[in-house]
Amino acid sequence: MTEDQPAGTEGGSDRRDVVVPLRVYKAVTVFSTLFAVLSVVAGFILVDVATQRASAPASEIDVPVGIAGIACILAGTVVYAFSTRFRTEEMGKSKDDAT
Amino acid sequence: MSLERKDEHDHKGWMESRELTPIESVYLTVLVWLDRRLRVVDYLEILEDLYYKVNMQMPKSHTEQYNLDNKFWYWYPLYALGSFSTVAYIVAAISGALLGFYYAPAAAAADGSPTVAYDSVMLIMGQLNLGYFLRSVHRWAAQIMVAAVFLHMLRVYFTGSYKEPRELNWLIGIVLISLTLVFGYTGYLLPWSQLSFWAGQIGVEMSLSIPLIGEWVAQLMFGGFTLSQATLQRMYILHVFFLPFITTAIIAVHIGIVWMQGIAEPH
């Protein structure tokens, strides 16, 4: 049960899968999605504020806030992408669970 | 037996049993920490359970059984009109209750200067914060309710939903659409403007034209054969006391019967 699929095995797939109990899988799905949605939305709001809804001339763009917004969007994306490596028993390709 | 909720998993135990990278274990620790405090997952699980329980009791609908959806789908939006009129009714009730804080049903000042009722409507429209908005919401809710109720009746007619065993609910619906129109009429008179006044005059004359009981009806509904304070006061009490109680009760029965009998399916 440890490290079900070592990186780089099986047809060049370098996806890492971590099998966790169902309850933990639910927590991962719910909270990472929640976090990702909130931070992406917050990121877009920050970018909007920084650029005055994309209407500000280049000289008046608030650079730190804009970068913070993009960072927020990226953070949400990373968290979501990271969450996809967790799965629970009986998920994914059945032949993987059989071994 | 402890009241404390048992944890299904010994988080620390299984996490140590796996080879997790540092990022993964921090990630999981944070999410599990959040999970044990916010309990979002528990509530979602309750909803999921509820969903399956509700749907397990549902037999296949007639449209599903005979695959009528492809011919019938364009009627489905019109099945929302009943709910739509109920929502309009609730909106009108809430905005009407708020308007009631400022409106006074008094037809004083018969010497040609504006009446108390008209002045209170002008106050709502001109002076009161959000008053214009409030009265507009009430008016639009009323207009929409009349329209939605009428279209709901057409939908019921053209889908044949009034047929046995639903005749009783059709008749109750007829009563409800009439009550809706009376609601509209009484509310129309309340501003006691020129429009209201002459609409009231028409009402009196229509009542008087009824054979045999005409005079009695005019007395009962309008408090006399000419418009006066009595007319306005009766319209007010009808609008804010009698009709709300009667209509709400009948709507409850109407919806209750739909609930018991189920929605009529197309054949």
Across the interface, which of A1, A2, A30 has its CB nearest the CB of B41?
A30
Highest mean pLDDT among A8-22, B16-30, B88-102: B88-102
A7 pLDDT band (50/70/90 cuts)?
A: very low
Q: Are residues B83 and B45 located together in one domain of the fold?
A: no
Which chain B residues are Cβ-neighbours of A28 within 8 angstroms? 28, 31
Per-residue model confidence (pLDDT) at position A11: 43
Asked if the Cβ–Cβ distance from B31 to A23 is below 8 Å, we say no
Per-residue model confidence (pLDDT) at position A2: 44
Q: Where are the domains of chain A?
A: 18-89
Closest chain B residue to the Cα of A85, Cα to Cα: B24
Q: Are residues B79 and B40 located together in one domain of the fold?
A: no
In this structure, is residue B5 part of a structural domain? no
In this structure, is residue B63 part of a structural domain? no
A10 pLDDT band (50/70/90 cuts)?
A: very low
Per-residue model confidence (pLDDT) at position A23: 87
Domain stop point among B40, B58, B76: B58
Q: Are residues B146 and B257 located together in one domain of the fold?
A: yes
Across the interface, which of A1, A24, A30 has its CB nearest the CB of B28?
A24
H or E stretch covering A86: strand A86-87
Q: Are residues B150 and B106 located together in one domain of the fold?
A: yes
Closest chain B residue to the Cα of A84, Cα to Cα: B24
Per-residue model confidence (pLDDT) at position B7: 57
Closest chain A residue to the Cα of B44, Cα to Cα: A30
Domain count, chain B: 2
Of residues A72, A79, A73, the one with CA closest to residue A33: A79
In this structure, is residue B6 part of a structural domain? no
Closest chain A residue to the Cα of B40, Cα to Cα: A30
Q: What is the CATH number of the domain that holds B211?
A: 1.20.810.10
Q: Are residues B151 and B47 located together in one domain of the fold?
A: no
A12 pLDDT band (50/70/90 cuts)?
A: very low
Best of B20, B41, B44 to disrupt the A interface (most A CBs within 10 Å) is: B41
Q: Are residues B98 and B154 located together in one domain of the fold?
A: yes
Torsion of CA B257, B260, B265, B267, to 10 degrees: -90
Burial environment of residue B160 by CB neighbours within 10 A (0 to 12, 13 to 18, 19 or more): exposed
Q: Are residues B99 and B188 located together in one domain of the fold?
A: yes
Mean pLDDT of B93-107: 94
**Pair B57, A41: CB distance under 8 Å:** no
Q: Are residues B143 and B245 located together in one domain of the fold?
A: yes
At B194-203, the pLDDT tens digits run: 999 999 999 9
Q: Report the distance separating Cα B114 and Cα B107, nearest Å.
A: 9
Quick one: what percent of chain A has pLDDT higher than 90? 49
CA angle in degrees (0–180, nearest 5) for B66-B71-B75: 110
Nearest chain A CA: its distance from B55 CA (Å): 22
Specify the pTM: 0.60
Asked if the Cβ–Cβ distance from B28 to A21 is below 8 Å, we say no
In this structure, is residue B43 part of a structural domain? yes
Mean pLDDT of B34-58: 85
Asked if the Cβ–Cβ distance from A3 to B23 is below 8 Å, we say no
Which whole-number Å values give the CA distances from B216 to A62, A96, B7, B182, in the listed order? 76, 86, 74, 18
> Could you tell me the residue range of the domain that residue B179 belongs to?
68-261
Per-residue model confidence (pLDDT) at position B65: 80
In this structure, is residue B151 part of a structural domain? yes
Q: Dig out the tokens for B48 from the structure.
A: 């999921």
At A58-72, the pLDDT tens digits run: 899 999 999 999 999
Which whole-number Å values give the CA distances from B118 to B76, B108, B115, B124, B227, in the listed order? 43, 10, 5, 10, 15
Average pLDDT of chain B is: 89
In this structure, is residue B3 part of a structural domain? no
In this structure, is residue B266 part of a structural domain? no
**Each residue of A80-96: b (16+ CB within 10 Å) or e?**
beebebbbbeeeeeeee
In this structure, is residue B94 part of a structural domain? yes
Q: Are residues B40 and B151 located together in one domain of the fold?
A: no
Q: Are residues B23 and B143 located together in one domain of the fold?
A: no
At A74-97, the pLDDT tens digits run: 999 999 999 998 888 877 654 555
Q: Are residues B21 and B108 located together in one domain of the fold?
A: no
